[in-house]
Each structure stands twice: as C-alpha cells, then as structure tokens.
Amino acid sequence: MPLPRYKQINTDVTPYYHCISRCVRQSFLCGKDHNTGVNYEHRRKWIQQRLHQLTKAFAIDLCAYAVMHNHLHVVLHIAKARANSWSMDEVLLRWRLFYKCPPLVQRYLDDAESIFSEAELAEIESLSMTYRKRLQCISWFMKLLNEYIARRANKEDECTGYFWERRFRSQAILDEKALASVMAYVDLNPIRANIATTLRNSKYTSIQYRLNARSANKKPKFLMLFSEQSSDKTMVLPFTFEEYLALLNQTIKHTPNKLTYECQSSNVSPFQRLKMTEENWCYVTRHFEKLFSGPAGSPTSMVNFAHASGRLRKPNMANAQRYLA
C-alpha cells in the first residue's frame, strides 16, 4: 500500500524532491504509438510549457526535468521562505492564474473602491493562507500539471478516462550527492533511451533548455540557477553549471556511441567534490530509480528523514551505504 504523502515529503528535512508520472498502461500518449502509428509528440511541448507556467506562480523551482514518450521526471525545490514573504494580494493573484477565486476575492482584487467588513477581510485572509500553503505544495503542483494535460489530451482524442496512472511518485533527495545524481539521471534519460545522442538534441529536457539559454547569453528563465549564476546563494543549486556539465559528459562517455562535450573549461574535476568513484557515479545515474525506491541520500540522512517523517522502515540503506556514503 502506498505511503501517505506526508511520510514522503518533509520540507523541514529537505526542500528537494524527485517526482515521476507515468501514462496509464505506460502507453505512448506523448510520443509515437508504434502499434497505431499515431504521433502524439506535440504533447511533450504542452507539458514543458505547463511546467514553465507553474514555476512562475508557485514557490517551487524546477531543478531538472525530462518529458519522455510515456512518462515524465521533475526534480523540484520547495522555496518556503519565498512563499512566506509574499503579501496577501500577491498570493491571491498567483492563485488566480489557475483557479477562479470566490466572488469575494474577485471583488477584493478587481474593485479598489469596495469597502469590506471585518468578517469579509478575515475570510479573505483565511483563503490567502490556504492558497499560500498550496502554492508551496508538490501535490498541488503535480495536480495542476497532470490534470491539465489529461483534460487537454482527452479532449483532443475525444475520449474520457485516465491519462496518467492515478498517483505520481515522489522521493526525497537528501543531500548534494543524491541531488547531482538524480538531476543527471533525469537529464540523461533521452540518451539512455536511445532517442537522443547529445545533450543539445535531448528534446524537452532541462539540460537542453539550459544550454540553449547559455548560447544566447541568458539565464534559464524557468529553472533554478546554479551557484555561479546568482548572487542569492540561498536559492541556488549547490554546484556550478560547469561542474554539472562535466559530470554529464563523463557519464555519456561511458555510454556506447554517445559522445558529446559541452564544457568550456578543461580544468573541471567532475568527481572531486562529490567524492564518488567514476564507476559508482555511472551506475547510480543509470539505475537511480531501481537503487532508490524511496528517499535517496547518505545513510545518516536517510535515518534522519525516516525519524522526522514517522517512517518505521528505511528502504535501500545498503545501496545508500555503497553508493552515497
């Protein structure tokens, strides 16, 4: 029986989470169905655009994503401090981007001359507190992503029923080593699946988006920045883009017939900071989901997360000790 979400997500321990949604029966509902010949490739663009829209409103950052033919991966960062810094009006406006608010809230936002009683203001404030919590909630983020895509795809197919499996999977990412590993696992998904040969032609992935932004001398607008890309060191990924690219390239080098080099610096030492052997790194980034069915991180961090979340079992401890210690 699946664990309740509160035992899978605990922002007091870690703000990073890897989420996966798969199409029902693992059908190719976002790619080319080889049995029918129907091509649904355009739906991958829908998902990418929706992800970008959601990050504009939510206090949730996209660290990495890959939209595949029958599933998607996202690595998310929950920015609680940012959500708590928003004014009541900003919260209401952000929520209204996706949902029609109650008439009282609509009048509050649209009619500057309206006069409200104390009871009405209290109700508006109560609603804003509810919306503030939702705007930093992974479950609401994934709901607004998956429900939108399912409705749009069903309308296109003139059918009803499930598009995604009923429940998205989430796993806590507990430390820097696990974060780098899962981001690489996600960004290299098309190359492992033999639908791309380089980082630049890995369509609908965060790494392609980052490389295109760098080519245009811009920062990736909808993605969480690396440590050298922002002066706000509290809201960036804990390593540099060049370090991350070096890790990806080193992994690709060990994939047959997949060679690409995007690094600008030859002095980057990809494994020095993570303290992982090349063999372990490549194995983890190929088999991350199989190695870690739940939280991923060092053995100590996994024990701490289990205690904080009220979990009795601590799965995959042997793999954590072997690969992420």
Q: What is the average pLDDT value for the chain, to the nearest integer? A: 90
Q: What is the DSSP letter of 164?
A: B
- For 191-213, the pLDDT digits (tens) are 999 999 999 999 999 999 999 99
Do 118 and 178 have their domain in common?
no
3 occurs within a structural domain:
no
- Are residue 300 and residue 281 in the same domain, yes or no? yes
Q: How confident is the model at residue 258 (pLDDT cuts 50, 70, 90)?
A: low
Let me know whether 123 and 179 are in one domain.
no
Q: Are residues 38 and 92 in the same domain?
A: no
Q: What percent of the chain has pLDDT over 70?
A: 93
Find the mean pLDDT for residues 55-75.
Answer: 96
- Same domain, yes or no: 64 and 203: yes
CA dihedral 210, 211, 212, 215 (to 10 degrees): 120
pLDDT in the model for residue 162:
92
Mean pLDDT over residues 92-112, rounded? 94
Q: Are residues 207 and 87 in the same domain?
A: no
In a domain, 2, yes or no: no
| Among candidate residues 71, 105, 134, the one where a domain is terminated | 134
Confidence label for 59 from pLDDT (cuts 50, 70 and 90):
very high
Check whether residue 113 and residue 180 sit in a common domain: no
Residues 6-35 have a mean pLDDT of: 88
Average pLDDT over residues 12-22: 96
Examine the domain organization and report whether 217 and 87 are in the same domain.
Answer: no
Strands laid side by side in the 16-22 sheet: 60-67, 71-78, 16-22, 169-173
Please give the pLDDT value at position 256: 57
Give 156 or 37, the one with higher predicted confidence.
156
Inform me whether the pLDDT recorded for 255 exceeds 50. yes
Within-domain flag for 65: yes
Give a yes or no: residue 280 inside a domain.
yes
Q: What is the mean pLDDT of residues 278-291?
A: 91
Kind of pairing, strands 169-173 and 60-67? unpaired
H/E stretch holding 287 = helix 278-291
* pLDDT beyond 90 at 189: yes
Please give the DSSP secondary-structure letter assigned to residue 270: T
Q: Are residues 220 and 108 in the same domain?
A: no
In a domain, 7, yes or no: no
On whether residue 5 sits in a domain, the answer given is no
The larger pLDDT score, comparing residue 254 to residue 48, is at: 48
Number of domains composing the chain? 2
Predicted pLDDT of residue 46: 97
Is pLDDT of 214 > 60?
yes
| Domain extent at residue 274 | 13-79+137-324
State the angle between helix axes of 278-291 and 176-187 in degrees (0 to 180), rounded to the nearest 10.
Answer: 80
pLDDT recorded at residue 267: 53
Whether 6 maps to a domain, the answer reads no
The CATH number of the domain where 59 resides is what? 3.30.70.1290
Q: Looking at the predicted structure, is the pLDDT value of residue 65 above 90? A: yes
In the 3-class helix/strand/coil scheme, how is 171-193 assigned residue by residue? Answer: EEECCHHHHHHHHHHHHCHHHHC
pLDDT mean over 257-271: 51
CA 261 to chain centre: 25
Domain for residue 165, yes or no? yes
Residue type at 35 in one-letter notation: N
Given pLDDT bands bounded at 50, 70 and 90, which one contains residue 25? confident
If asked whether residues 122 and 159 sit together in one domain, one would say: no
Residue 13 or 258, more confident: 13
User: Are 119 and 235 within one domain?
Assistant: no
Please say if the pLDDT value at position 265 is more than 70.
Answer: no
Q: Say if residue 202 is in the same domain as residue 221.
A: yes
Among 195-209, 243-257, 274-288, the range of highest mean pLDDT: 195-209
